[in-house]
Amino acid sequence: MKAAYLMDTVGNKQARGEIAMIKVVVPRMALRVLDRAIQAHGAAGVCDDFPMAMMWAHSRTIRLADGPDEVHREAIAKLELQRVGSTT
Ligand SMILES: Cc1cc2nc3c(=O)[nH]c(=O)nc-3n(C[C@H](O)[C@H](O)[C@H](O)COP(=O)(O)OP(=O)(O)OC[C@H]3O[C@@H](n4cnc5c(N)ncnc54)[C@H](O)[C@@H]3O)c2cc1C
């Protein structure tokens, strides 16, 4: 919500830290939710009768597409170091 708000109000460049953060957090959360749903369904959760395994595989690609997690984490780290450097 904060990232979307900043994108709308101050623009994508100013919101790049928050954008990088959601790109790390949201796909991981989606995978966690899907993993729990699969677990609750047992083996049925990974069979073709349900879409969960396919949804998990699809969501997994989002941790790579548009840059892997590591690249977003590096961007966040650089912004944080700049922020800390500018206050000391
Ligand atoms: C579904 C899907 C859609 C895509 N759509 C597009 C698209 O529309 N346009 C487009 O241009 N590309 C697209 N891609 C490509 C995507 O951007 C790349 O797959 C992604 O950037 C990772 O590059 P790579 O696959 O060559 O893996 P690599 O760059 O070889 O990375 C492999 C692994 O190495 C590690 N790694 C890589 N770089 C670093 C780093 N700097 N620091 C630390 N570790 C690192 C990570 O663990 C990473 O997962 C898409 C990919 C997928 C899966």
Going along the chain from its start, the domains and CATH numbers come out as 20-87 (1.20.140.10)
- For atom 52 of ligand 1, the residue with the nearest CA is 65
Task: Place 88 in a pLDDT band, splitting at 50, 70 and 90.
Answer: confident
Is the Cβ atom of 66 under 6 angstroms away from ligand 1?
yes
pLDDT in tens, 17-45: 999 999 999 999 999 999 999 999 999 99
**Are the C-beta atoms of 39 and 53 separated by less than 8 Å?**
no
Task: Give the per-residue pLDDT at 86.
Answer: 87
Q: Ligand 1 atom closest to Cα of 61?
A: 53
- For atom 14 of ligand 1, the residue with the nearest CA is 65
3 state DSSP class of 50: coil
Percent of the chain with pLDDT over 90: 93
3 state DSSP class of 66: coil
Q: What is the pTM of this model?
A: 0.88
- For atom 45 of ligand 1, the residue with the nearest CA is 70
Question: How high is the mean pLDDT of the chain?
Answer: 96
**Are the C-beta atoms of 34 and 51 separated by less than 8 Å?**
no
pLDDT at residue 3 is higher than 80:
yes
